[in-house]
């Protein structure tokens, strides 16, 4: 039936056409008196990203609002760029970290998105679009999103230095990470990244075993301890990498670390079980520990945050109706419902104003303005996250994102860094 | 002659005459064994020889952060062993990693062999009836009904800082502070590897023990041997093929393991497999391929050495 409706009228021989017409008519009468409803199949978009970014509620809502089906492909943080580079035809939409872009763009497997087709392109959060919050510049160490946001043209394999009409990634979620801790198991006041290497917590700290992110945490800690001042933490020289790894190996041999983790759930488990009392954590992971009824604090530190951002990109293999659907979905994503949904999990969305429209004023005040909750704060799934009176760790949006010190990064010396990281693991 | 064998003879004559009618009477019978071997050979070719050849080829290629290019360079091998000679007597990362992996191999081999042999011995000589032997043997395989990862992770609530073992020991007053070394340590890795792979020892050793002619043991006893002598002089030598096959299983599996060492070691313990995985994650496929080739060579040398100890074809 679908075949017949699609092909009628386009250069098919008369005899076959008449047969097809008959078939279509039959099918039409058999089903509904509105054959045009069946004129187009629903589009399914294969959405590649880490599992954390894949909310079933968003897929459900998108399917309802747009008639586009979202098929999630969940992989690890490291696996996302690998899939983009090795199998660009295995997905229609990728939600990738900005720090992967220096590897992805030169491969030519992704194309620039046409800014003219994104309705709210001018409303993107300034921290992503220009690296500023309320007009103030944030830390740009590492791969800051605005530095890799634009391409010279659709198929360019290098970044544009000035804003253009071709966008690499449209932000989905971003946030600032800091140390998470168990206040019930720590009686010291934690104010600095240096605590990650504090011998008082020997055997009770952890770091992330994704080199691009782990090295940044380590750099924050080592710099905070006063061992070194990096020229750019996110783009170290070989000497700086050697020094950082050497310090990490020292700490590891002294038994500083309990474990290394490589995905969201592992970090939650380490913290919830009490194996680890202090570690670099993703804000929603802190929320996840807390929803288990275990006290966990996302601790703002004087050196600032390590920020990350993730966004939608299109593979070069995308075309036709799927491409239209991808733009449609992205525009829907920026239109508020999804932004509000993600905000209530502790993420920040690309367009703040539309998300605000879909949140209650007391929710907005809690999540974005750093104010005490007027009522109980609910997670999107209806569980109580915080009782009335609670204040969000890290304060308001401006306080958090304004205090970003560096971004997750892929360095020029990335290959060397990965090799040294392996030495650290082996030490 | 029974009727069955008559039928076989007739069938054979039928086939011969059928072949005789065909024009290609010489090539036909010659092709048959090849055709019979073909399915296995094809499976080996497509799923073993081809990937292996590709791995070896890629190990000589060049790479950037987002591409790999055909070339013939020894750069990857050079990178792996970089500084290994210079740093002596200190060990470079590669040597240290292999040494660590080898250490796990030997320890796990010893533990699985001891436990596996004991279990197999009990099943073969102490369980009297075949029915109970089969039941007990099946019981040994029950843990294999769940996935490897689950069997591994299930140790965590036991061994953790606030786990069952620590809680029990503390409540019994044996220790005051929790034992840290139970989880995310060499101990945890060895424990779970032993747990996972002991059955690989039990099965072949049990098989070997069942083939031992019981009259030999009686004869030894009649000749005045005591229990220990029977074990060391009669049973163990006859169980050698089983022990060897089990050893090959365990050693090859442990050499390539990165999951267990990773999870139970809290990702802090190096293994060759883990290094390959990290390199793959960062798209350094040629480097990973070179590492895989070296690992393969190391394992092959080990297996070759084991085969020197026992002529396995003769024993089977």
Answer whether residue B22 shows pLDDT above 70.
Answer: no
CB contact under 8 A, A273 and B280: no
CB contact under 8 A, A211 and B275: no
Task: Provide the 3-class DSSP secondary structure of residue B82.
Answer: coil
CB contact under 8 A, A422 and B280: no
Residue A272: its pLDDT value, please? 92
**Any domain includes A59:** yes
Answer whether residue B94 shows pLDDT above 90.
Answer: no
Instruction: Indicate the number of domains in chain B.
Output: 1
CB contact under 8 A, A426 and B279: no
Residue closest to B272 by CA, chosen among B111, B48, B96, B75: B96
**Any domain includes A183:** yes
Measured CA to CA, the distance from residue A244 to residue A228 in angstroms comes to 9
For a pLDDT cut of 70, what percent of chain B falls above it? 90
Answer whether residue A93 shows pLDDT above 90.
Answer: yes
> Do A89 and A135 sit in the same domain of this protein?
yes
Q: Is residue A153 a contact partner of residue A419, using CB atoms and an 8 Å limit?
A: no
Mean pLDDT of B214-233: 91
pLDDT-derived band at B253, boundaries 50, 70, 90 = very high
Residue A366: its pLDDT value, please? 93
For residue A200, give every residue at least 6 positions away whose Cβ sits within 8 Å of its Cβ, in sequence order, or none.
Answer: A188
> Do A186 and A272 sit in the same domain of this protein?
yes
Q: What is the mean pLDDT of chain B?
A: 85
Q: Mind listing the pLDDT tens digit for each residue in A200-235?
A: 999 999 998 888 889 999 999 999 999 999 988 889
**Residue range(s) defining the domain that contains residue B275:** 91-315
CB contact under 8 A, B65 and A273: no
For tokens 């390590």, name the residue.
Answer: A306
For residue A418, give every residue at least 6 positions away whose Cβ sits within 8 Å of its Cβ, in sequence order, or none.
Answer: A211, B278, B279, B282, B284
Instruction: Indicate the number of domains in chain A.
Output: 3
For tokens 């929603």, name the residue.
Answer: A284
Residue B63: its pLDDT value, please? 86
> Do A29 and A109 sit in the same domain of this protein?
no
Residue B4: its pLDDT value, please? 44
> Do A206 and A254 sit in the same domain of this protein?
yes
Answer whether residue A24 shows pLDDT above 60.
Answer: no
CB contact under 8 A, B79 and A425: no
**Any domain includes A378:** no
Cβ atoms < 10 Å from Cβ of A366: 25
Residue B277: its pLDDT value, please? 85
Q: Lowest-confidence range among A84-98, A248-262, B75-89?
A: B75-89
Q: How far is CA B201 from CA A144, B107, B119, B126, B254, in A?
A: 54, 14, 9, 18, 13
Q: Is residue B97 a contact partner of residue B272, using CB atoms and an 8 Å limit?
A: yes
**Any domain includes B108:** yes
Residue A94: its pLDDT value, please? 94
**What pTM does this model have?**
0.76
**Any domain includes B59:** no
**Residue range(s) defining the domain that contains residue A212:** 176-302+385-426
Answer whether residue A253 shows pLDDT above 80.
Answer: yes
Choose among B266, B270, B281: nearest Cβ to A82.
B281
Measured CA to CA, the distance from residue B160 to residue B167 in angstroms comes to 10
Residue of B nearest to A103 (CA): B66
> Do A214 and A292 sit in the same domain of this protein?
yes
**Any domain includes A393:** yes
CATH number at residue B247: 1.10.3720.10
Q: Mind listing the pLDDT tens digit for each residue in B270-285?
A: 888 888 888 887 788 8
For a pLDDT cut of 90, what percent of chain A falls above it? 55
Q: Mind listing the pLDDT tens digit for each residue in A273-303?
A: 989 999 998 888 888 888 888 999 999 999 9
A418 contacts on B by Cβ (under 8 Å): 278-279, 282, 284
pLDDT-derived band at A12, boundaries 50, 70, 90 = very low
> Do A150 and A165 sit in the same domain of this protein?
yes
Residue A385: its pLDDT value, please? 81
Q: Quick one: tokens of B164?
A: 């069952």
CB contact under 8 A, A261 and B267: yes
B161 contacts on A by Cβ (under 8 Å): 273-275
Min Cα–Cα distance to chain A from B35, Å: 37
> Do A52 and A148 sit in the same domain of this protein?
yes
∠ CA B44-B45-B46, rounded to 5°: 95
SS (H, E, C) chain A: CHHHHHHCCCCCCHHHHHHHHHHHHHHHHHCCCCHHHHCCCCEEEEEEEEHHHCCHHHHHHHHHHHCEEEEEEEECCCHHHHHHHHCCCCCCEEEEEHHHHHHHHHHCCEECEEHHHCCCHHHCCHHHHCCEECCEECCCECCCHHHHCEECCCCCCCECCCCCCEECCEEEEEEEEEEEECCCCCCCCCCCHHHHHCHHHCCCEEEECCHHHHHHHHHHHHHHCCCCCCCCHHHCCHHHHHHHHHHHHHHHHCCCEEEEECCHHHHHHHHHCCCCCEEEECHHHHHHHHHCCCCCEEECCCCCEEEEEEEEEEECCCCHHHHHHHHHHHHHHCCCHHHHHHHCCCCECCCHHHHHHCCCHHHHHHHHHCCCCCCCEECCCCCEEECCCCCCCCCCHHHHHHCEEEECCCCCCHHHHHHHHHHHHHC
**Any domain includes B202:** yes
Measured CA to CA, the distance from residue A142 to residue A131 in angstroms comes to 12
Count how many residues are written for chain A: 427
Residue A16: its pLDDT value, please? 46
> Do A151 and A103 sit in the same domain of this protein?
yes
Residue B26: its pLDDT value, please? 57
CATH number at residue A355: 3.40.190.10
**Any domain includes B69:** no
Residue A40: its pLDDT value, please? 66
CB contact under 8 A, A262 and B79: no
pLDDT-derived band at B7, boundaries 50, 70, 90 = very low
Min Cα–Cα distance to chain A from B154, Å: 13
Q: Is residue B257 a contact partner of residue B102, using CB atoms and an 8 Å limit?
A: no
> Do A145 and A216 sit in the same domain of this protein?
no
Answer whether residue B13 shows pLDDT above 90.
Answer: no
Interface of B with A in 272-291 (CB under 8 A): 274-275, 278-284
A102 contacts on B by Cβ (under 8 Å): 65
pLDDT-derived band at A248, boundaries 50, 70, 90 = very high
Residue A28: its pLDDT value, please? 44
Q: Mind listing the pLDDT tens digit for each residue in B122-169?
A: 999 888 888 998 898 888 888 888 888 888 888 888 898 888 898 899
Q: Mind listing the pLDDT tens digit for each residue in A361-386?
A: 999 999 999 999 999 988 887 888 88
> Do A284 and A355 sit in the same domain of this protein?
no
A104 contacts on B by Cβ (under 8 Å): 66
Half-sphere exposure of A236 (CA within 13 A, CB side): 28
Give A384: exposed, middle or buried? Use CB within 10 Å, 0-12, 13-18, 19+.
Answer: exposed
Residue B316: its pLDDT value, please? 62
> Do A153 and A234 sit in the same domain of this protein?
no
For tokens 């294999």, name the residue.
Answer: B144
> Do A284 and A207 sit in the same domain of this protein?
yes
Mean pLDDT of A235-241: 94
Residue A31: its pLDDT value, please? 45
């Amino acid at each position: 039936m679908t075949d017949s409706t699609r092909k009628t009228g386009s250069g098919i021989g008369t005899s076959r056409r008449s047969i097809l017409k008959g078939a279509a008519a039959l099918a039409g009468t058999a089903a509904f008196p509105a054959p045009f409803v069946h004129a187009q199949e629903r589009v399914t978009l294969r959405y590649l990203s880490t599992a954390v970014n894949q909310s079933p509620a968003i897929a459900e809502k998108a399917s309802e609002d747009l008639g586009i089906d979202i098929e999630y492909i969940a992989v690890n943080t490291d696996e996302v760029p690998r899939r983009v580079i090795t199998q660009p035809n295995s997905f229609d939409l990728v939600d990738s970290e900005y720090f992967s872009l220096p590897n992805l763009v030169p491969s030519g497997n992704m194309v620039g998105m046409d800014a003219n087709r994104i309705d709210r392109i001018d409303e993107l959060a300034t921290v992503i679009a220009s690296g500023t919050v309320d007009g103030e510049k944030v830390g740009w160490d590492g791969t800051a999103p605005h530095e890799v946001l634009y391409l010279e043209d659709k198929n360019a394999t290098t970044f544009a230095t000035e804003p253009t009409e071709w966008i690499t990634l449209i932000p989905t979620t971003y946030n600032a990470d800091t140390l998470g801790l168990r206040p019930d198991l720590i009686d010291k006041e934690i104010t600095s990244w240096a605590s990650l290497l504090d011998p008082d917590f020997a055997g009770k700290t952890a770091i992330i075993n994704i080199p691009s992110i782990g090295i940044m945490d380590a750099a924050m800690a080592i710099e905070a301890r006063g061992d070194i001042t990096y020229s750019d933490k996110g783009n170290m020289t070989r000497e700086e990498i050697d020094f950082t790894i050497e310090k990490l190996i020292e700490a590891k041999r002294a038994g500083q670390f309990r474990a290394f983790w490589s995905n969201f759930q592992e970090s939650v488990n380490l913290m919830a079980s009490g194996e680890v009392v202090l570690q670099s954590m993703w804000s929603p992971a802190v929320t996840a520990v807390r929803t288990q009824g275990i006290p966990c604090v996302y601790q703002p530190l004087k050196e600032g945050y390590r920020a990350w951002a993730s966004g939608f990109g299109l593979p070069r293999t995308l075309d036709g109706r799927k491409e239209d659907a991808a733009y449609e979905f992205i525009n829907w994503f920026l239109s508020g419902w999804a932004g509000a949904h993600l905000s209530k999990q502790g993420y920040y969305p690309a367009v703040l104003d539309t998300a605000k429209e879909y949140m209650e004023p007391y929710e907005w005040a809690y999540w974005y303005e750093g104010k005490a909750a007027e009522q109980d704060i609910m997670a999107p799934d209806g569980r109580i996250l915080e009782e009335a009176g609670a204040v969000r760790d890290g304060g308001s949006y401006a306080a958090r994102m304004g205090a970003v010190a560096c971004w997750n990064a892929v360095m020029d010396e990335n290959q060397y860094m990965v090799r040294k990281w392996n030495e650290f693991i082996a030490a | 002659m029974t009727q069955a064998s008559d039928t076989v003879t007739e069938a054979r004559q039928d086939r011969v005459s059928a072949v005789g009618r065909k024009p290609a009477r010489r090539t036909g019978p010659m092709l048959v064994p090849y055709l019979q071997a073909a399915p296995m050979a094809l499976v080996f070719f497509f799923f073993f020889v081809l990937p292996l050849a590709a791995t070896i080829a890629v190990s000589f290629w060049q790479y950037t952060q987002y591409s790999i290019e055909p070339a013939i360079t020894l750069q990857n091998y050079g990178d792996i062993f970089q500084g290994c000679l210079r740093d002596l007597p200190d060990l470079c990362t590669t040597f240290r990693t292999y040494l660590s992996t080898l250490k796990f191999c030997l320890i796990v081999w010893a533990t699985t062999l001891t436990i596996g042999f004991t279990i197999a011995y009990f099943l073969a000589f102490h369980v009297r009836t075949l029915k109970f032997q089969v039941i007990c043997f099946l019981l040994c395989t029950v843990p294999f009904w769940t996935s490897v990862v689950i069997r591994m992770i299930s140790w965590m609530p036991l061994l953790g800082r606030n786990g069952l073992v620590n809680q029990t020991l503390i409540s019994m007053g044996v220790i005051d502070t929790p034992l840290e070394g139970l989880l995310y340590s060499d101990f945890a890795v060895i424990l779970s590897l032993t747990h996972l792979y002991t059955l690989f020892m039990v099965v072949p050793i049990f098989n070997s023990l069942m083939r031992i002619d019981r009259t030999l043991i009686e004869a030894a006893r009649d000749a005045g041997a005591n229990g220990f002598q029977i074990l060391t002089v009669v049973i163990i030598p006859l169980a050698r093929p089983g022990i060897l096959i089990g050893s090959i299983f365990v050693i090859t599996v442990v050499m390539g393991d990165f999951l267990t060492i990773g999870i139970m070691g809290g990702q802090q313990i190096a293994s060759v497999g883990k290094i390959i995985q990290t390199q793959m994650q960062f798209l350094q496929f040629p480097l990973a391929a070179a590492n895989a080739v070296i690992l393969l060579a190391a394992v092959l040398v080990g297996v070759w050495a084991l085969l020197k100890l026992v002529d396995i074809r003769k024993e089977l």
